[in-house]
Amino acid sequence: MITLPCPVCEERLEIPEEISRFACARCNSELEVRRGGGIVSLAKITASPEGELALLEKELAALMQQRIVDAPVYMLLRHDLYRLGKLHIWNLTFASQSDLEFIFVNLKSAELDKIIANYQDNPQSQMFQWLLKIRECRQKIAQVKQSIRS
């Protein structure tokens, strides 16, 4: 018997010798046991919606950690947030990292689209690319949440 983390939800799973496919006890994703060269690993066949959501949320959290030069990317959006009316002029330079993160995470999709439009003249920029990835990830999360609810 060996123990490996689920590749979707990271739950520690005990894997019997003879088994090659099973569903994770926690997130219900379908998993395949790969054995080769004395190494046993687990691969995802299909993630359950709950598992998919956990993966997407991990991806979004990783995007939020990304930096341009020395700052998390969303910290460079002060002026965009100000133009949207999300920051007051007196707070434009003083808003803290956690304030900016909170405002950014809670933007409605139409507001995020307006920010993206500010950068579309420079489609190769890291900022534009990052914003597109954030939007895509947010849309996928909304879809998966929808499918879990229905």
Write out the residues near Zn ion by the rule CB under 5 A: 6, 8-9, 11, 24, 26-27
Measured from the CB atom, the residue of 9 and 81 that comes closer to Zn ion is 9
Measured from the CB atom, the residue of 8 and 131 that comes closer to Zn ion is 8
Least gap, CB of 103 to Zn ion (angstroms) = 33
DSSP 10: -
Least gap, CB of 89 to Zn ion (angstroms) = 47
Measured from the CB atom, the residue of 55 and 107 that comes closer to Zn ion is 55
Q: Which of 62, 63, 54, 52 is nearest to 135 (CA)?
A: 63
Least gap, CB of 108 to Zn ion (angstroms) = 31
Least gap, CB of 72 to Zn ion (angstroms) = 29
Q: Go through the chain and tell me how many residues it has.
A: 150
Give the long-range contacts of residues 9-14, CB within 8 A, separation 24 or more.
Answer: 9/50, 9/51, 9/54, 13/42
Q: Who's near 107: CB < 8 A, 6+ residues apart?
A: 84, 86, 115
Measured from the CB atom, the residue of 54 and 112 that comes closer to Zn ion is 54
Least gap, CB of 61 to Zn ion (angstroms) = 18
User: CA 24, CA 6: separation in Å to the nearest integer?
Assistant: 7
Residue 39, beta-bridge partner list: 36
Q: What is the CA radius of gyration of the chain?
A: 20
Measured from the CB atom, the residue of 6 and 115 that comes closer to Zn ion is 6
